[in-house]
Structure 1
Amino acid sequence: MMAVKTTRSTRMAARTGRTTARGLAAAFAAAVSLVAVAPAGAQAQVTGSIFSGFQPQQPPAPERAGHPLMQPEAIAQAQANFPNCIAALQPLAQSKGVSPASFQRLTAGLEPDMKIMDYLDSQPEFSKTLGDYVTMLVSQTRITKGREMLEKYKPIFEKVEKAYGVDRYVVAAIWGIETSYGDPKGIGTRSVLRSTATLACIGRRQDYFRDEFIATLQIIDRGDVPADHMKGSWAGAFGPTQFMPTSFLRYAVDFDGDGHRNVVDSIPDVIASTANNLKLDGWQFGQTWGYEVVLPQNFDYRYVDRTKRYSMAQWASLGIRRANGQAFPRPSDTGFLLLPSGAKGPAFIMLPNFGAILRYNPADAYALAIGHLADRLRGGGDFVQAWPKEERALSRTERLELQTRLSQMGYDIGNIDGILGQKTRVAVQDFQTRAGMIPDGYPNLDVLARMRQ
């Protein structure tokens, strides 16, 4: 979405900033059992327009009461105290270079956007699988539009690629998936200043959003982006490639030389800042993000493990081949095996650049869509292997049941929260082995049905 030092859960929740792209990336990742294990330095960017048209459901009162700061009484009290809370942040803003006069000017008359509380702990439900979403995201419309943008801004993409060593097609893919290449509906319409101020003083993520609010003040005060141009998601992501304010301060660059880092109005700054983000997150120029591969018969699925990274030559020695029949171009490259839809779906070997995309947004569904769209933009074809058609995503109730059953069996799956992360997948893989199932680590209805027996 990220070099803010936050926990994964904080970063994922921050990304649910809007119902149109990365805003549902975290929730969708949980729904389809694909929460990535992102490095601690992952950037806390929020969402663009990945899941356009899908609205989160407002959570019932019992779920909101799970955190003390989300109880109705606490929210009402925080709302009443909002002016005092904002005023108390003035010394912190001043320590970051925002003068008292600027602080007063920017916060005068500021009121909280209480609608945001409806989204903060929302629990979306999805019936589509990861394959359905990747197909939806990497649409022919996005491919066509992306190629048009690559041609229209070809000189800029060339200069940025040369300056930062980041593949132009990946930058264009992020732009396309985040906001459909700058579609206002994808970017968002809420005031970033008001949104971050609200979240800095109300709700359960005040510590995280306090920094975002102060960063927003810094951006406006420095004149990089005018206040009335900073429109975005309810969680504060803004611009065509959806920067969070703190990420803007860390990654944004002035590529057009006008003295401002404007990732809203300047296309050169948008493209270069996004490339700089990927570069600092470890993008390796000249290498791809991963390969679609075909597994041999009687494959040992214990190799489906993110911690097991082998060279392409070693994977080939295990009988793994590229799905398109071509050889691995660099046998010494290393990667891990990923089966995002289990043994019934496509298989991939993911290289370090997949990790760089995950640092932009730690959800496998997102990173896979970005990588695939980038390949399509450069002229590549669709995946060779089909996504499973007969499955549906587990509901949140089913995910909670699966985790509960695993915990009762003695597995360490962390919090029972409906987010099927790495611990859950490791536990599922062990359960599958013991139950005589294919141990692909994929938590689906078949696994849950076997647990119920």
Structure 2
Amino acid sequence: MAKLSARNILVLLFGIFLVAVSTPAFAAQESFDVWLEKFKTEAREKGISEGTLESAFANVQLIEKVVKLDRKQPEVVQTFQEYMAQRLPQSLIDSGKAMLNEHRPLLEEIGRKYGVQPRFIVALWGVETRFGKYTGGFSVIDALTTLAYDNRRADYFRKELLLALRILDENHIALADMKGSWAGAMGQSQFMPSSFVNFAVDYDADGKRDIWTTKADVFASAANYLAKSGWQYDQTWGREVRLPEGFDPALIDLDVAKPMREWEELGVRKSDGSPLPDRQLVGSLVQPKGGNGQTFLVYNNYRTILKWNRSTYFAMSVGFLADRIGDG
């Protein structure tokens, strides 16, 4: 065998390196076929029908892009102001007002039933999927199978995959139409399967909880999620405030909650300098990371939005959009 030159050795090693970094190795220790048979056995034991298992996994694929996206560490690369400007352009606000007006009777009916103001239902819809335009193009079964097999967060995604199969078993959606995000969030409300099982509503009573195409089900499911998570119909989410000079930064924390009167006594004012409202809601002060010191006094409903998505930026964007949509 001919000896490799130093240059050739470097080229070979570099090629191996490129393969390694471009193709993420799955964390699972057993072959996919073995893993899948074990998973199917568990699914059968949990009541998933043989027909659903056969159709769901007949052409299942492991998606390397999903693994890359799951392992990518989130970074704050935008300031709060940049994020809000990008996520809440005037066109989205205008569309939100139009959507509220277009679906007003249905939204008001659902709002009364679940105790959620229509503007917040529309705001969540807009922030999540641009009013149903961008719901994700991944096969939910493929994405969840990939993440369950990868083993990094296997327990969580295994449970979600089992619930996705249950959703198929109950005929809420056809396999070919079960599309969503790379992480398995589905439909116009971007529910994970567990959220679907716990909160999705068949509002039009056609036998299917259709968060993909049926507006009544989409709106009612979002409202039901908020209602069961502690939403208060007679409250808003929060407001921007102004702090006095020398304000104690230790008080700017979601774990510090005070009634309006106490914040007033500490010198907190509305952003225009006027007094806080007389109503004694309990609130906490929040300063979004990456912001310029903007401070918000947030209430119970802000915390409820955080149960939907733990991102401060997300919760703020929903609140801002709801305020700008108003009553249409």
In the superposition, the TM-score normalised over structure 2's length comes to 0.87
Q: What SS class does the counterpart of residue 296 from structure 2 fall into?
A: strand
Give 1:106-125 correspondences, 5 Å limit: 106-123=56-73, 125=75
Q: What SS class does the counterpart of residue 335 from structure 1 fall into?
A: strand
Distance 1:343 1:252 in 2: 35
Over 3 Å counting, the alpha-carbon distance change for 1:192 and 1:321 in structure 2 is same
Matched letter for residue 214 of structure 1: L
Partner of 2:248: 300
Give 1:233-248 correspondences, 5 Å limit: 233-248=181-196
Matched letter for residue 210 of structure 1: R
Distance 1:343 1:219 in 2: 41
Partner of 1:288: 236
In the superposition, the TM-score normalised over structure 1's length comes to 0.64
Partner of 1:132: 82
Partner of 1:141: 91
Do 1:187 and 1:238's aligned partners in 2 also have CA atoms closer than 8 Å? yes
Do 1:90 and 1:100's aligned partners in 2 also have CA atoms closer than 8 Å? no
Q: What SS class does the counterpart of residue 64 from structure 2 fall into?
A: coil
Distance 1:353 1:195 in 2: 32
Cα offsets for 1:377-425 (capped at 9, x unmatched): 0069xxxxxxxxxxxxxxxxxxxxxxxxxxxxxxxxxxxxxxxxxxxxx
The root-mean-square deviation of aligned C-alpha atoms, in Å, is 2.4
Partner of 2:167: 219
Structure 1 residue 335, shift from structure 2 partner = 1.0
Matched letter for residue 233 of structure 2: F
Percent of aligned pairs with the same residue?
36
Distance 1:315 1:100 in 2: 60
Unmatched segments (≥5 aa) in structure 1: 1-59, 65-69, 381-453
Partner of 1:167: 117
Partner of 1:322: 270
Give 1:325-404 correspondences, 5 Å limit: 327-341=275-289, 344-378=292-326
Q: What SS class does the counterpart of residue 86 from structure 1 fall into?
A: helix
Do 2:114 and 2:223's aligned partners in 1 also have CA atoms closer than 8 Å? yes
Distance 2:291 2:178 in 1: 44
Partner of 1:156: 106
Structure 1 residue 312, shift from structure 2 partner = 0.4
Distance 1:348 1:90 in 2: 49
Distance 1:331 1:132 in 2: 33
Q: What SS class does the counterpart of residue 227 from structure 2 fall into?
A: helix
Unmatched segments (≥5 aa) in structure 2: 1-16
Over 3 Å counting, the alpha-carbon distance change for 1:330 and 1:252 in structure 2 is farther
Structure 1 residue 237, shift from structure 2 partner = 0.8
Structure 1 residue 204, shift from structure 2 partner = 0.9
Residues matched between the structures, number: 310
Given the alignment, which residue of 69, 72, 91 partners 2:25? 72
Structure 1 residue 313, shift from structure 2 partner = 0.8
Matched letter for residue 181 of structure 2: S
Bigger-Rg structure (1/2): 2
